[in-house]
Amino acid sequence: MVELLSEKRMRELVRRYGSFYIYDREIIDQYTDQLQNDFAGIHFLYSLKANHNPDVAGFILSKGFGADAASLNEVRMGAANGLGQDEIYYSAPGKTDEDIRGAIRNAVLIADSLDEVERINRIAGEEGLSVPIGVRINPDFSFHGSGGRPSKFGIDTVQALNAVSAWEECANIRVTGIHVHLQSQELDAAILAEYYRRMFLLADCFQAALGRELDFINMGAGMGIQYSGRDTVLDTGRLGEAVREMLASFRVKFRKTKVLIETGRYAVGKAGFYVTHVLDKKTSYGKTFVILANTLNGFLRPSIARLVARYAGNDVPAGSEPLFTSLDAFEIASFRPEWEGTETVTLVGNLCTASDMIAEDIILPVLKQGDPLIISNAGSYGAVLSPMQFSSQRSPAELFLDETGRIYESGKLLEI
């Protein structure tokens, strides 16, 4: 991990920025290539909510990914990156009339409720438009079996099927696709394959009800990455093969239907590193604390996992995506060699709360003030989730490293 940058450059960046995220383009390239190679015939959407850094998003969208937008701002990001209306899918609960009006010409709107279908129809009429829309469905199955559950997302399958004939009467919309997203961070290819199979069957049901072929089936996200040593690596080759076989048999019914899969973390999760540095050290009642810059407020996920474990009294709290995955979801590295000496330390941040702790009683090489500390698996749900305004600290920077070692900040080349 420390091979990412030389110690000299890392120290220079710490001197300039204090703490920062650095995203490695080569790793994003590898993960996105892998998806595009393993899943022939599938169109991928990049979930901008995972990391909307302009260099990161620009790179992924330039590779042929469409955009999964969860807000009007994310629709605008997709459009600013040159994506057409049929490449941006706007799916989120609670859209306002202004959101709908603002996105209606730039994205395929995915209605999240029965009421929203009507509102889109009304607003399209007011704008003098007739638009294709999708509907988000809350299906009667889950990743782990059958049976629907109450959800704030989407419209229950039965409600949606009952509404189809009323939707067909709406003059300004045409339902052309369905969207489902149930879960993230799944590592078992067989579970994902079974989920996709159910998705095709669900789409078939909607096609039958509509009496025409759907333009798209958006199967949402789900592919996970290896955070801890306990995690298996998702076998995308096997999963891609299973999807290809399904696609081949379902093509009889979905001759032109675009099949979409969303991903945020698979594209960027492993490509991001969070770099903080040692501000101070102290020993209290025999415990050694290393005080770091911007931990809870700069990179929330390690602290929140600890917090949940502490209050749940559970060493292995179940992940709660996208807030955290597990306690051991990160590697922490420094440039100090172990042969210089190690010690047991507790890593805390510089906020005025004891909850600002990322690791307790771990063995690390002896650190000194100013030393950079590099945390892995910070590419997705890192900067976007962290409460950076807390206690008015300086926010971490976000940097982008290319294959030649050049570093950019918001598209601008740094001299370093």
Site residues (vs ligand PLP, CB under 6 A): 47, 50, 68, 91, 181, 184-185, 220-221, 262-266, 322, 380
Residue length of the chain: 416
Question: CA 124, CA 128: separation in Å to the nearest integer?
Answer: 6
Nearer to ligand PLP, 180 or 347 (CB): 180
Nearer to ligand PLP, 168 or 321 (CB): 321
User: Which tokens hold the place of 76?
Assistant: 């605008």
Closest chain position to ligand PLP (CB): 264
A 10 A CB-CB count for 402 gives 15
Q: Please choose, from the candidates 414, 385, 383, the residue with its C-alpha nearest in 3D space to the C-alpha of residue 56.
A: 383
CB of 340 to ligand PLP, least distance (A): 39
Nearer to ligand PLP, 78 or 264 (CB): 264
CB of 118 to ligand PLP, least distance (A): 22
Q: Determine the angle formed by the axes of helices 25-38 and 236-250, rounding to 10 degrees.
A: 40
Triad 307, 275, 346: Cα angle to 5° = 40
Nearer to ligand PLP, 319 or 372 (CB): 319
CB of 373 to ligand PLP, least distance (A): 25
What is the 3 state secondary structure string of 193-211? HHHHHHHHHHHHHHHHHHC
CB of 86 to ligand PLP, least distance (A): 18
DSSP 56-111: HHHHHHHTT-EEEESSHHHHHHHHHTT--GGGEEEE-TT--HHHHHHHTTTSEEEE
With left for phi above 0 and alpha for psi between -120 and 50, is residue 38 left, alpha or beta? alpha
CB of 265 to ligand PLP, least distance (A): 4
Question: CA 372, CA 351: separation in Å to the nearest integer?
Answer: 18
Nearer to ligand PLP, 155 or 292 (CB): 155
Nearer to ligand PLP, 25 or 181 (CB): 181
Cβ atoms 289, 375 nearer than 8 A: no
CB of 341 to ligand PLP, least distance (A): 40
CB of 50 to ligand PLP, least distance (A): 4
Nearer to ligand PLP, 177 or 322 (CB): 322
